[in-house]
Structure 1
C-alpha cells in the first residue's frame, strides 16, 4: 500500500514537530539503557495502539527513521552516545471522517496509559501530543485533517533513549573506494535522468570520510565513504510535489524513495539505490534547482589514493 509522498510531507507543521523533537532530544538518560531494538518495538507498539482506533483506514504508509543522538536531534551518528528511535505512520481515512472529533476523543479511547502532554497550538491543525507510559514512555504526536487526497491521520513516534548501536563487523573484504564512488555516481545519474529539462551546473567530490559504523577486520586501514554532490537547473515552474509523487514509479523497484520525517526548507527525499550497492542519495528541490548529494557504502580504506 502506498500514499503520496508530497501529501505526507505537507501534513506536518515544522513548528509543531520540531517542538516535540527538541523536547525529546533532551531526554534524561536512564541507567542501564535498553537496547535500540527494544525501544523501537515499544514505540511502534504505541503507534499501532493509536492506529487501532481507526477501524476504517483505507490505506497506510509506515516509515522508520535513522536513530538520533539523545540531546542533539541534528546528529544521527550515535557513536558511543545514547540514541532514540523515530517512526511515523500515515493513515488515509474514508470520506466523512471527522478529524477534530477524532483528536478530541483519542485520549479517552486510549486510557490512562497515554498521558496528554502540552504542545504549542498550530492554527487550523487538529493535534495532540501523548506520552505512552505503558510503552516505555514513548512520545507521540498525532495530527488529523483533510488534504487534497482526502482525510488523514498522521502519527509520529519517538522513543526513550537507548544504547548506541555497535559497529557492524564486515564478514567479507570491503569493496575498493573506486567501486563505491562509481556506484554512487551511477545512482546519481539515474536519479538525474528523471528530471525534466535539466542543465548540470555544478559537481563536487568530497574527500573520503571515515566510516565509523563498520569495522574492517581484513584491513589495517579504517573504512571510508565517498561523498559528493551534483546540482542541476530546472524550470522555475518545476512542481516538486508532483515530481515526488511520481519519483518511485520513475525510478522503479531498484530504488527506495524515503520522505524526510522532519520537513525541510527545501523539499527533500532520501533515496537508497539498491542496484548500486545500496548507496544513499538525498535529493532536494529549491526554486529552479535540484541538488543530489551522494553518500556511498563503506569501502576499504587501503584502496584510497594517498
Structure 2
C-alpha cells in the first residue's frame, strides 16, 4: 500500500519488506512466553529512538505507528488468537550538507554490539542498513538515508518481535444501533469527499453487516457487527493525488487522524479515523486516471439492532 509521501518512501518501505520478510516468517515460532503487544511496541520504539539519537542535527521529525500484523503473515492484520507484531517508522529531516553515505557507513559502529547488522538485498541507489536490536527485544530495523526533493533525510522502520494477540474490549455500556453507526460512517466519508476538487460521485457500495471481533458485547445475545461500504468519485485528469494526500491532514483538521500506510501498495492510500463521526475508520485510495475510492468501516454496533 502506498503512502502520501514522495515516491522515495515507497522504495524505502519496500526495502524493509525485502530485507525482513524471510526473518519474519521464520522467526516467530514462540520458544518462550510471548510479551504483551504494548511491551513489544515499547521495545521497538525504543530501538528506533536509539538510532534517532545518533542523528543530532535533525530539522524535523514525524513518527507513525502502524496497526499490528499477524506473525508469519504480514498481509493479514486480523490477529484473533494468533501472535502479532508491531510496526512503526520515523522520518527524520536533515539539514543541507548532511552526508547520507557516511551516516549509513558509520551507524553500526556508533550503535555498538547490541545492534547486529543483518544481511539484506542491496537495491541500486539506496543507502540502507538492516539491524537486529538485541537489547530491545530483538526488534528489526531498516535504516535508510538519502536526499529527496524536500532535502536530506533518515528514515527508520521498525518491526517488533511476536507478541500476544490483543484481547477484544468488553463493552462497558450497550453498543450503538447499527443504523446509527452506518450513518456516522457515511457522514465521515462524505466530509472527507468534500475536500476533493471537482468531484463527481459515480458509485456507492454497501455490504451486509460484518462480524466485529474486537469487541465483546455483554448486553446483547447477538454478536457485535459493523457497517462496511464505499464511495467512488471521479476527479479531473490533472488531479495531483500525492499532493492531495500530503495536504489532507490540514484539509480535514483535528477531528480526523490521517495515517499513511506503512507498507506500500500499488495504489496510494491513507487510513483515516473520524473522531467526530463515532471514530469511523476510512481508507482513501487514489487510483490512476482520476478515480478516488473511500472505504468505510463503522465502529462496532449491537447485532440485535440489524433488520433481519
- Which bracket does the TM-score occupy, shorter chain normalised? over 0.9
**Structure with the greater relative contact order (CA < 8 A, sep ≥ 6): 1 or 2?**
2
TM-score (norm 2): 0.95
| Partners of 1:9 and 1:263 within 8 A in 2 | no
- Structure 2 unmatched runs, 5+: none
1:60-112 C-alpha deviation (Å, 9 max, x unpaired): 11111111000111111111100000010111111111111101110000011
Q: 2:294 aligns with which of 292, 295, 299?
A: 292
| Partners of 2:185 and 2:277 within 8 A in 1 | yes
Measure, in 1, the Cα distance between the counterparts of 2:175 and 2:23.
36
- Structure 1 unmatched runs, 5+: none
After TM superposition, give the deviation of residue 21 of structure 1 in Å. Answer: 4.3
| Partners of 1:221 and 1:301 within 8 A in 2 | yes
Measure, in 1, the Cα distance between the counterparts of 2:162 and 2:124.
31
Measure, in 2, the Cα distance between the counterparts of 1:49 and 1:280.
32
1:178 matched to 2:179? The reply is: yes
Structure 2 counterparts to residues 128-277 of structure 1, below 5 A = 128-277=129-278
After TM superposition, give the deviation of residue 147 of structure 1 in Å. Answer: 1.1
| Partners of 1:25 and 1:69 within 8 A in 2 | no
Structure 2 counterparts to residues 105-124 of structure 1, below 5 A = 105-124=106-125
What residue is the counterpart of 2:22 in the other structure? 23
Measure, in 2, the Cα distance between the counterparts of 1:194 and 1:241.
14
Measure, in 2, the Cα distance between the counterparts of 1:49 and 1:231.
43
TM-score (norm 1): 0.96
What residue is the counterpart of 1:127 in the other structure? 128
Measure, in 1, the Cα distance between the counterparts of 2:295 and 2:24.
26
1:92-134 C-alpha deviation (Å, 9 max, x unpaired): 1111111111011100000111111111111211101000111
After TM superposition, give the deviation of residue 263 of structure 1 in Å. Answer: 1.3
Measure, in 2, the Cα distance between the counterparts of 1:274 and 1:131.
37
1:33-60 C-alpha deviation (Å, 9 max, x unpaired): 1111111111011000000001111111
1:131-174 C-alpha deviation (Å, 9 max, x unpaired): 01111110000111111111111100001101111110001110
| Partners of 2:171 and 2:217 within 8 A in 1 | yes
What residue is the counterpart of 1:302 in the other structure? 304
Change (3 A) 1:295 1:166: same
What is the aligned residue count? Answer: 302
| Partners of 2:4 and 2:270 within 8 A in 1 | no
Q: SS in structure 2 opposite 1:11?
A: helix
Change (3 A) 1:24 1:63: farther
